[in-house]
Structure 1
Amino acid sequence: MLTLISSAKTLDFAKAASSHVHTLPEFIMDSDFLAGELRKLSPNEISRLMGVSEQLGEVNAERYKLWQSEVTSSNAKQALMAFKGDVYNAMDVESYKASDIKFAQAHLRILSGLYGLLRPMDLIQPYRLEMAFKFDNDRGRNLYGFWGDKIANELNKQLRLLKSKTIVNLASNEYFKAVKPKFLEADVVTPVFKDYRNGDYKIVSFFAKKARGLMGCYIIKNKILEAGELKTFDVDGYHFNKKLSSERELLFTRRQ
């Protein structure tokens, strides 16, 4: 079983990684190409591309200016430890034991606009490039075109190595779209988290992001290998709701 999560906009490269284990991204040559193309853009052009302030445009222009083709532990950090935000904070990576890191490396994958697909311990350099950005390139009008079926093919390869046909989708719609699900040789199971509001269960974005991180942590620490085992998830008030679930969509509800 493979679990997918999205990359995050927020990064932490100031704090030292809690593990020295590291690997290199599978699509590093593609990432290097994209970084080279982004390096050609001015701060103002990057601001417009990303829909961010001039200040953030300058920050990201500088990041691509400093990009290095040779990736080392001195200019990069493991993806799972570099990304921050609601999902990653809830995953509580700081508490992972060596056995958790080993399991995550085999069974967790991170979708990224710049790197395509990452293992948790793959080294990444500081960047910002969301999957939905309309970045015109040699392979298409956006990043979905750039990555094509590469991500799906790599996931299929990893699933064959694991002798599994199950993907648990904890990624956002924006990022999962890049997988091109029609090319997957797998059954995709998507956990959905809803909170009770005004007489009905609804997805509350902030809570749903946190819950996806909690689920990711639950999978890793409990070494879950079958999607059916996810139904035992009982964290932060969420419970499996059999009535509202289907074979491919596992619904977890909470009343506060």
Structure 2
Amino acid sequence: MLILISPAKTFAKQVKCAHRLPATTPRFAEEARQLVASSLELSPQALKKELLLTAKTLPEAQRNLATFFDEGTPEEQALLNYSGMVYKKLAAGSLTEEDWRYAVDHLRMTSFVYGLLRPTDSIRPYRMEGAARLPMLEGERVFDFWRDRLTKPFIEAIRAAGGTLLYLASDEMRGLFHWEEVERSVEVITPTFLTRQRDGSLRQTVIYTKMARGEMAGAVLRQRISRPEELQRLTPAGFLYTGEGWDYILGD
């Protein structure tokens, strides 16, 4: 089973990790440099538009992109560097060395700059959007840039991990791949985490979904879960399997 999670827009200020493996180089490091270099050609206003930034988030995004190539810019392994809710709940800092070795073969992270990342791949802080149209892309989007490059190696990684994909990424990440080809090639499991509303209806709540995705990913790594049916006994962030499809409902 291969787990796929989304990247985060925030990066760790301080990393605490009991165990880790040697850092690795992202497979698409050169493509990452090309995309960042192209983003630096944009004016501040164009950058703000293409990367969906606000007046508050623009300065940090500019800083991260401008220092991306600097020798002193800090690097950290991807699973430790991202600091969004999914990553907090996955809690990579508490993984054992054996967990890390398992994660290298059974976890991938999407990235609009780096394409597809292993947990140990060293990355630098950046900001990018899948719908961004950079000068080098000649009218196409970052999604379009990656689709042909990522689909085959992604399918190969899933097959190497047993042929089942546990999709715990956001919906938009499918746009990085030829998704119909992925679904034809491997088994795809996409859990849905539902919360009951005051009117009795069920819907997804973003923060709870992120918490559940992170906890489920961490549980699969720590428990070495390989069969889909084993996922049904998990209770990530208090969600319980309903027995219908891959729906989970937050317990009362």
TM-score w.r.t. length of structure 2: 0.90
Which residue of structure 1 aligns with residue 166 of structure 2? 168
Which residue of structure 2 aligns with residue 24 of structure 1? 25
Quick check: 1:136–1:142 contact (8 Å CA) kept in 2? no
- CA deviation vs aligned residue, 1:26-80 (integer Å, no higher than 9, x gap): 111111110110122233322222222334323222222222288x9x7311011
Which residue of structure 2 aligns with residue 192 of structure 1? 192
Matches of 1:130 and 1:99, distance apart in 2: 34
Q: Which moved more, 1:20-29 or 1:80-89?
A: 20-29
* 1:130 aligned partner, one-letter code: E
The runs of 4+ residues in structure 1 deviating greater than 6 Å are: none
**Residue from 226, 247, 250 that aligns with 1:251:** 247
Shift in alpha-carbon separation, 1:136–1:183, aligned structure 2, 3 A: farther
Which residue of structure 2 aligns with residue 9 of structure 1? 9
Q: Between Structure 1 and Structure 2, how many residues are aligned?
A: 248
Matches of 1:136 and 1:189, distance apart in 2: 36
* 1:173 aligned partner, one-letter code: D
Shift in alpha-carbon separation, 1:50–1:22, aligned structure 2, 3 A: same
Shift in alpha-carbon separation, 1:139–1:49, aligned structure 2, 3 A: closer
The CA deviation at 1:136 is 5.6
**Superposition map of 1:54-93 within 5 A:** 54-68=55-69, 75-93=74-92
Structure 2 residue runs of 5 or longer lacking an equivalent are: none
Are 2:42 and 1:44 aligned?
A: no
**Superposition map of 1:201-216 within 5 A:** 201-216=202-217
The CA deviation at 1:126 is 0.8
Partner secondary structure for residue 11 of structure 1: coil
Quick check: 1:240–1:251 contact (8 Å CA) kept in 2? yes
* 1:181 aligned partner, one-letter code: W
Quick check: 1:132–1:143 contact (8 Å CA) kept in 2? yes
TM-score w.r.t. length of structure 1: 0.89
The CA deviation at 1:140 is 5.3
Partner secondary structure for residue 149 of structure 1: helix
| Alignment RMSD | 2.1
Matches of 1:53 and 1:234, distance apart in 2: 37
Shift in alpha-carbon separation, 1:193–1:24, aligned structure 2, 3 A: same
Matches of 1:90 and 1:146, distance apart in 2: 31
- CA deviation vs aligned residue, 1:109-147 (integer Å, no higher than 9, x gap): 001111110001100011011324344643752111111
Matches of 1:9 and 1:182, distance apart in 2: 27
Structure 1 residue runs of 5 or longer lacking an equivalent are: none
Matches of 2:139 and 2:58, distance apart in 1: 23
Partner secondary structure for residue 190 of structure 2: strand
Matches of 1:235 and 1:59, distance apart in 2: 33
Percentage of pairs with the same residue: 27
Matches of 1:16 and 1:61, distance apart in 2: 27
Quick check: 2:147–2:175 contact (8 Å CA) kept in 1? no
Q: Which moved more, 1:212-221 or 1:152-161?
A: 152-161
* 1:183 aligned partner, one-letter code: E
* 2:216 aligned partner, one-letter code: M
* 1:50 aligned partner, one-letter code: L
Shift in alpha-carbon separation, 1:61–1:192, aligned structure 2, 3 A: same
Which residue of structure 2 aligns with residue 235 of structure 1? 236
The CA deviation at 1:202 is 1.6
